[in-house]
Amino acid sequence: MDPGDEQEGHAVAHQVTPMDMPGKILELDGISAESVQAHWGLYEAYCNKYNEVMQKLESADRGAANQIYSDYRGLREMLTFAIGGIKNHEVYFNNLSADGGEPSDQLAEQLQKDLGGVDGFLTELKAAGMAARGWAFLAWDWQWMRLDLHIGDAQNTFPVWNASPIIALDVYEHSYIADFSTARPKYIDAFIRNLDWSSVNEVWAGIQRGHELLGADG
Ligand SMILES: [Fe+2]
C-alpha cells in the first residue's frame, strides 16, 4: 500500500445482517403482531445504522479526534448505541413465544441461589422494568459467577463487563404504547407470560458449557 494512503492501518468495516425473524413472535399473548412488526423495523434500522457508521469510520480523520466534537468521536459513540440496539433486541425477540414453559432445573437452581427463586426473579424483573428507562436484563456474570438484574437507560448505557444477558426486557415506550397505551405494568406482565423459557434454557445451557470449556467450577 502507498505509504501516503490515508487508509493504511484503518480497521476493516465489519458489517452485520439482521437475524431472521422468529415466526413465534407474531403469535404472542397480548402483544400484537402489528406492534412486533413495527418493533422489528426498529431493530433492522439499528443494523443498517451500524453498517453505515462502520463504513464512515473507515474514512474518519483519526488525527482530528477530539473529546468536544469530532467526526471520529461521534461515530465511535454512536457505534456503541447501534451495537446495543442490535444485541439487546436480538436477546429480546429470542426471549418471546406464546409457548411459555418453565426454567430448567439447572436454571431454577441458580435463580434460587442468587435471586430467591423464580418468583424472586420475577419480582425483581418487574421492579427493574419499572425502574429502567430503556432495558432490564437478567445477566450471568462470568467473573462473579452469579445471576443478577441490570437496567439500561439507553441502548448503550450501564454495560457490566464479563456479564452476558440471558433475558432482555425492552421498556422503551415503542415496545408497548400500541397495545397498552402508557400501562407499562400490563406490558411487563405480558412479557412475562410470553417468556420463551425453552429459548432461555438453551442460553443457560450454553453458558454452562462455556464454563466447562473454560475449566471453571460452576
Ligand atoms: Fe425496542
Residue 77 to residues 53, 93, 134, 184: CA-CA distances in angstroms? 10, 25, 18, 29
Which residue is associated with the grid cell 505509504? 3
Instruction: Kindly give the distance from the C-alpha atom of residue 7 to the centroid of ligand 1, in angstroms, as a whole number.
Output: 35
Instruction: Kindly give the distance from the C-alpha atom of residue 41 to the centroid of ligand 1, in angstroms, as a whole number.
Output: 9
Instruction: Kindly give the distance from the C-alpha atom of residue 44 to the centroid of ligand 1, in angstroms, as a whole number.
Output: 11
Question: What is the full DSSP assignment across 148-185?
Answer: EEEEESSTTSS--TTEEEEEEEE-SGGGTHHHHTT-HH
Q: Minimal CA–CA distance to 52: which of 18, 22, 15?
A: 15
- The pLDDT value given to residue 204: 98
Q: Which CATH architecture has domain 105-214?
A: 3-Layer(bab) Sandwich (3.55)
Quick check: pTM over 0.85?
Answer: yes
Mean pLDDT for the stretch of residues 66-82: 97
Per cent of the chain over pLDDT 90 is 91
Instruction: Kindly give the distance from the C-alpha atom of residue 178 to the centroid of ligand 1, in angstroms, as a whole number.
Output: 13
State the Cα–Cα distance between residues 64 and 1, nearest whole angstrom: 23
Instruction: Kindly give the distance from the C-alpha atom of residue 132 to the centroid of ligand 1, in angstroms, as a whole number.
Output: 13
Q: Is the pLDDT of residue 176 over 80?
A: yes
Cell triple for 2: 502507498
